[in-house]
Structure 1
Amino acid sequence: MARVLIVDDDEDIRELLSLALRIAGHDVLTASDGPAALDVLDAEPVDLMVLDVSMPQMSGLEVARRVRASPRSPEPLILMLSAMADPGDIAAGLASGADSYATKPFSIPVLTQAVDELLQGRSA
């Protein structure tokens, strides 16, 4: 079981992902924006973040950059989640520090598989 932080300003998406990842056996934390996500990371160890790109106050790209610049140990994996699907958007997400990038709309089985694959890659 991994600890997963879901960061999205859309409450419905947070709840949907939280339920799906809990059913998949993960311990789930949530945050509604970038500053709240950074507060959670300062207080709790997290194995993986599912991080929305477009959020008020601080974009997911900025959150990822701050996470990667911080000396957190262990450093969480980051799965960027966005409706922006252009190759340049994906490249920007990965350049900000994301380990993987998924697009909205998404399928729950595909997203939970992506989470599991990232986590398995870390433990391999």
Structure 2
Amino acid sequence: MARLLVVDDDEDIRELLSIALGVAGHEILTASDGPEALDVLAAEPVDLMVLDVSMPQMSGLEVARRVRATPPAPEPLILMLSAMGDPDDIAAGLAAGADTYATKPFNIKSLTRAVDTLLRGRAS
């Protein structure tokens, strides 16, 4: 199916998302912070990023801004994932370049569906 990059500083969340999205048929790459995510993107094309907002060194918002400013080819879709669910936080994520925004805690089936919906939208 698609190649996904899961970016989260929480190892348990990275592992949960990697397993669930892998079972859904996707190839999974991971990164534990923003700089590592940018390194992965420079080396590997991905179709979609699941990107945490609150991370050390570089926030997911900054990662999204950098990806949108100088996108790799092809430009990945971005599903921003955050514990911050205030409308202003969601608006900031979308303004930074996210295609959609999901909040933690999350339902893994709903998140998998959101990923598939984004990828289907790109394919059409």
**TM-score scaled to structure 2, two decimals?**
0.99
Within 2, Cα distance between the matches of 1:72 and 1:37? 12
Runs of at least 5 residues in structure 2 that lack an aligned partner in the other structure:
none
Runs of at least 5 residues in structure 1 that lack an aligned partner in the other structure:
none
For 1:8-87, list aligned pairs within 5 A: 8-87=8-87
Within 2, Cα distance between the matches of 1:4 and 1:53? 17
Residue deviations 1:56-115 (CA, integer Å, cap 9, x gap) = 000000000000011421100000000000000000000000000000000010000000
Partner of 2:93: 93
How many residues were matched structurally? 124
Equivalent position SS for 1:80: strand
1:2, CA displacement in angstroms? 0.2
Amino acid at match of 2:36: A
Equivalent position SS for 1:79: strand
Partner of 2:115: 115
Structure 1 runs of 4+ with >4 Å offset = none
- Quote the RMSD (CA, aligned, Å): 0.4
Identity between Structure 1 and Structure 2 (%): 81
Equivalent position SS for 1:74: coil
Equivalent position SS for 2:29: strand
Amino acid at match of 2:40: V
Amino acid at match of 2:99: D
Within 2, Cα distance between the matches of 1:102 and 1:71? 22
**TM-score scaled to structure 1, two decimals?**
0.99
